[in-house]
């Protein structure tokens, strides 16, 4: 199941500035395609903050970064009062330097959501009409065309957020009704006119972590699904490789009480509840690590997912532009909340943990095709004439190797920018775009294990659990048992689609 269904009519309103939401709430808002709105309290705070900033600009000639000064290393350059609004439009245009592939529409949708939310807390000093226009884009599914390359993940996601902002001033392109069109054409359908940016607004749009955060939220949500489906598929492999239930005994987890390990053991036992074969296997003294250590390896990934989810839940509820305006305290403070270091390190960690799910999955596939434990070599009749599943393991191994390369941390890198003013950057955007590749790669590796494990279990024919029987029945509607060689990439793709469409949380009765 995709986390984002095809866009539908709006089902209900969601107050976007409410306190303490999390990634699961964002998922539900996206799935329901809810219309975002502002509460009266949020509107009041936005207007008070803007009034305060307007008064400060009118009453004082003191430099306020990005309001009446240049940007980056030009922060000490005073801007003529007659030019401070043109300054904001120039900022958007000059920073729209994105290159690379187009950002997936799901990510752009989350970026819009998070940008609206951050501005709605009333610390950014923008006008209400700017936020309303962003909500018009979000609610009508007018999604700006944004590119994957260009952000250093430190001064905010400058280039991606510039492309997010271009349509507001009538520039750039958008995805609307599955077509890429000029922004003005989409705006005309809703009788929207380009907005004239006022002081601070261009900077508020560009400073922020919404590119990194959107990728992080999306990948955390996908990681949760991957964790659960990996345990279902691993359970098929455990059955088909005649493995023992002993390593999943709670006594083992109780004396090494990592939360993920214990949870994974219970989950495997839940999936295999009612299996006669799994609980009676006595033929082999021990199983290979890729089977026996599922609680330890999968469990470690589960703990990382929860840790990273907590970090992004903080970010979802944060203000990350600059400077921040505290109207009650009569202060305008220039700080560094746009720096993506917490996110970069978290996404690197998540990439490593997901890569390990793929790594151990490929090892199980390798074992299944080895010809051991009463399984035929390569899980096919007449091996030799037939090569069976041989090369599916090659494919998995190549992707596992790529994931190892993609898991090299971005957050340990930095490069000087803006003439030395921005002398340490997080590279969180690179961490984000690598992470999503790892997420998609792990799905493919698991699809290959599923293809092999289902083939093996139909050969062994164990008296397995009701859950596994039901799962296999559904899977076999998409992918048949193979009696002889066939074009395997077709079945790998079908297995990927099955995994994507399978409602794993509902099937396991998981309430997150």
Rounded Cα distance between 268 and 168, Å, is 50
Active site residues: 65
Rounded Cα distance between 470 and 472, Å, is 5
Q: Where are the beta strands (DSSP E) in 118-268?
A: 143-144, 147-149, 173-176, 179-182
Whether residue 323 has a cis bond before it, omega within 30° of 0? yes
Tokens of 344: 């970069």
> Tokens 């959501």 identify what position?
113
Q: Say if residues 146 and 166 touch (Cβ distance below 8 Å).
A: no
- Which residue from 155, 194, 198, 153 is spatially nearest to 174, judged by alpha carbons? 194
Tokens of 443: 């799905």
> Tokens 């091996």 identify what position?
383
> Tokens 């999968």 identify what position?
298
**Does residue 34 come out as left (phi exceeding 0), alpha (psi in the -120 to 50 range) or beta?**
beta
Using alpha carbons, list the distances in angstroms from residue 288 to 237, 284, 399: 12, 10, 22
Rounded Cα distance between 110 and 213, Å, is 8
What is 74-123 written as a DSSP string? GTT-B--GGGHHHHHHHHHHHH---EEEEPPHHHHHHHHHHHHHHHTTS-
- Which residue from 230, 161, 184 is spatially nearest to 499, judged by alpha carbons? 230
Rounded Cα distance between 487 and 237, Å, is 22
Tokens of 434: 């690598």
Tokens of 294: 């599922």
Whether residue 496 has a cis bond before it, omega within 30° of 0? no
SS3 at position 130: helix
b/e per residue 137-157 (b: at least 16 CB within 10 A): bbbbbbbbbbbbebbbbbbbb
Beta bridge partners of 324: 333
Q: What is the DSSP letter of 283?
A: S
Rounded Cα distance between 479 and 502, Å, is 14
């Amino acid at each position: 199941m995709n986390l984002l269904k095809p866009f539908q009519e709006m089902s209900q309103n969601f107050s976007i500035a409410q306190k303490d939401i999390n990634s699961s709430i964002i998922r539900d808002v996206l799935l329901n395609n809810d219309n975002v709105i502002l509460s009266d309290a949020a509107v009041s705070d936005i207007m008070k903050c803007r009034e305060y900033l307007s008064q400060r600009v009118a009453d004082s000639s003191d430099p306020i970064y990005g309001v009446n000064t240049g940007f980056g290393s030009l922060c000490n350059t005073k801007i003529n009062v007659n030019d401070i609004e043109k300054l904001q439009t120039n900022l958007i245009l000059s920073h729209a330097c994105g290159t690379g592939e187009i950002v997936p529409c799901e990510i752009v949708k989350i970026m819009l959501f998070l940008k609206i939310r951050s501005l709605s807390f009333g610390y950014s000093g923008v006008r209400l009409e700017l936020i309303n226009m962003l909500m018009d884009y979000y609610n009508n599914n007018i999604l700006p065309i944004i590119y994957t390359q260009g952000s250093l993940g430190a001064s905010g996601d400058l280039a991606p957020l510039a492309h997010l902002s271009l349509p507001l001033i009538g520039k750039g392109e958008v995805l609307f009704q599955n077509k890429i069109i000029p922004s003005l054409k989409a705006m005309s359908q809703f009788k929207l006119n380009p907005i004239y940016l006022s002081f601070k607004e261009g900077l508020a749009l560009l400073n922020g972590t919404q590119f990194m955060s959107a990728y992080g939220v999306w990948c955390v949500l996908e990681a949760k699904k991957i964790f659960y489906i990996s345990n279902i598929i691993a359970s098929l492999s455990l059955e088909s490789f005649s493995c023992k239930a002993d390593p999943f005994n709670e006594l083992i987890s109780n004396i090494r009480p990592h939360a993920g390990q214990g949870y994974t053991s219970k989950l495997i036992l839940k999936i295999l509840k009612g299996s006669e074969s799994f609980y009676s296997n006595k033929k082999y003294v021990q199983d290979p690590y890729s089977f026996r250590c599922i609680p330890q390896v999968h469990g470690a990934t589960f703990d990382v997912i929860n840790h990273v989810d907590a970090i992004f839940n903080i970010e979802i509820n944060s203000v990350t532009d600059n400077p921040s305006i505290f109207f009650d305290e009569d202060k305008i403070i220039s700080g560094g909340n746009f720096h993506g270091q917490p996110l970069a390190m978290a996404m690197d960690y998540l990439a490593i943990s997901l890569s390990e799910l793929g790594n151990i999955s490929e090892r199980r596939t390798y074992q299944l095709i080895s010809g051991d434990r009463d399984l035929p070599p390569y899980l096919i009749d007449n091996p030799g004439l037939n090569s069976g599943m041989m090369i599916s393991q090659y494919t998995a191994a190549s992707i596992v190797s790529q994931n190892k390369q993609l898991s090299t941390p971005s957050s340990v890198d930095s490069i000087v920018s803006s003439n030395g003013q921005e002398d340490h950057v997080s590279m969180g955007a690179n961490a984000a775009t690598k992470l999503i590749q790892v997420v998609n790669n792990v799905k493919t590796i698991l699809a290959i294990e599923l293809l092999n494990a289902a083939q093996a279990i139909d050969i062994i024919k164990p008296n397995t659990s009701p859950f596994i029987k039901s799962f296999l029945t559904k899977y076999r509607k998409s992918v048949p048992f193979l009696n002889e060689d066939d074009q395997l990439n077709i079945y790998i793709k079908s297995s990927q689609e099955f995994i994507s469409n399978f409602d794993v949380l509902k099937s396991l009765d998981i309430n997150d």
